[in-house]
Each structure stands twice: as structure tokens, then as C-alpha cells.
Amino acid sequence: MSQNSFSFRVRYAETDQMGVVHHGNYAQYLEMGRIEWLRSIGTSYREMEENGIILPVISLQIDYKKSALFDDLLTVETTIKKPPLVKIEFDYKIYNDSNELLAIAKTVLAFMDKETNRPIKCPDHILEKIDFN
């Protein structure tokens, strides 16, 4: 299992008139989690794209437990539980600053060759950086 957590504060623009985070923003929060997870293993999405690899989302599931509110300090916990092959599966938990669980989510992404738009296996240099101990 490989895991990373990062925190950020909810901006006013992400909320409705009641100060509640709009559900559509959670997909962006998950993307932020994936980007920070990649950084935590010593690579970046930009670096992957520069090397001709893209990672489109092919599945997204979110279970909302409690509302996030304007100015909450949120923590996104991003985990992969098994080595990626052609697909990489991320699990997420989002907490507020009171450590209340707000959402549980899962995404599946596919490694794709940017030029051919065809699936490829996870690059070895990424597999080597993931610690499953």
C-alpha cells in the first residue's frame, strides 16, 4: 500500500449560498490528491506527459458522508493498495479539520500513450518508486 495526505482550505468560490461545497468540486479534490501522491513518490504528472504518458480517468465513484463547508481545512488521503498494471486504482478519504470523514471515493485511471491514444503498462520507473511494504 502506498499513501499520501495533503491539506488545503475550502475557497468561497467552491461553495453554494449556504456555504456548502458543491459536489462537483470533489472530483477536483481527488485530482489534487493524485497529483500530490505522484509528487510524494518523486514524479509529476507534467513529467509523465512530457514523456508521452497520459492518465485519463475511466471510473469515478464518490460516497458523500457529510458536507464540507467554506473555510474548512480539508485533508485528502490518497492510497493505492495494489501495484498498477495498465490501470491504476486510487482510494481516497476526505476529512475536515475536526477529523470527521466527509467522503470516500475511488478512481480508476488508465496509462495511455499520448500519441497513439492506446493503453500501455505502467512505466517501470513509476513501479520502482511505489513502496508496498
Name the residues annotated as catalytic: 16
The single residue listed with the C-alpha cell 517501470 is 124
Pairing mode, if any, of strands 87-95 and 73-80?
A: antiparallel
Cell numbers linked to 48: 509523465
Contacts of 18 (CB under 8 A, 6+ apart): none
